[in-house]
Structure 1
Amino acid sequence: MAFSDIKQLEEHLATRSYITGYAPSQSDVGVFTALASAPSAAEYPHSARWYSHIATWESEHSTLPGDAAAGAALFGGASASAPAAAEEEEDEDEIDLFGSDDEEEDAERERVKAERVAAYNEKKAAKGPAAVGKSVVTLDVKPWDDETDMAELEKSVRSIVHDGLVWGASTLVAIGYGVKKLQITLVITDDVSLDQIQEECAEFEDYCQSTDVLAMQKL
């Protein structure tokens, strides 16, 4: 990943805990490995938070599920061309009659990587436990029509429970033709996926037509 993609990564992680899905995967590993160094917490707080979290999984990166190319593809990295390139490289290895110094390069890469992880862990230990960031979100929840039971809609939305999620005040806002939408605030910690909350709202298909994030601000 080129360093110029860090801004796109920051925007991507503003409303997500991981590159794809709701748990660490090879998508995170691929983007993590492509970064030359940890993002600046002052300039890119979401990326820095994500980078620190994925670094704690360093020893388990190879066991995580998924495809690393899927994460790189989101930011203009290797995607469909990656398998072909890998296949071509494999073919070249098979006809290399004189051997190569790939093993030495791999060993040097692993050594540098290990030194970087050790330095990061040492720095992290010196700082102590990192504070968990929080965001306040205003969510618009739209009903199907003016006959939708808005009390049941709000009750359903508030039934969504996650560690690090706190529901706040709500109000009904008219949007025309007798239809009103539910506007509700919530506070979430950085490890709670807003996308997942919206997907769970959509599961109340008798009441909820769609959801939109009206506003989001870090606390």
Structure 2
Amino acid sequence: MAKFEGLDTPKGLGSLNQHLADRSYIEGYTPSSADVEVFSQINAAPDSSKNPHVARWWNHIASFAENERKAWAAPVAETKAAAPIPAEKKEDDFDLFGEDSAADDEWEKEVQRRADEHAAKKKAAGKGPGVLKSAIIIDVKPWDDTTDLAELEKLVRGIEMDGLEWKASKLVAIGYGIKKLQISCHVEDDKVSVDDIQDKIAAYEDFVQSTDISSFTKL
């Protein structure tokens, strides 16, 4: 696991800020014990004007209850990057927003595993079906490589709807130096329309080129 020291100093927070510039979590694609360990070393909310990536990460981790953070497992190892595109492949044939690498499959499997685990715990506890919920993974694609993805994620997480709860996220390389934001959420089916979520994200038209639903799973 990446080690960070002196998180009570500007230098230490600066190092962590650089680490989180293109990551949603300390290690892997979902919150883990690594996040808990680093989070415990920071005593107050970081200054977003000085360390915006740390502030964004800290606020996200702080949004979880202490008992939820204690239940997080060890980090999921990152998958090796996808092989480069063969030189002979024509540029016209390149799908800029095409299928992602095996890393995406690994992350989606982890989200699905956690959803299944949650459903199994509810069943074991003898709870009825109750409120119907779904776990959704949304791909948010920027216009180009100059888009501020940290600000984009902040805007997306700022969308509030009754029955909507934002979960894990990550940045995924899609070609030519461009990355997309892949973010998951839980929704109450009777209250939240997926189309409404996409419309609200698309409203940030200076940041968002398009959105797609990568995964939709009933909880």
TM-score by length of 2: 0.43
Larger radius of gyration: 1
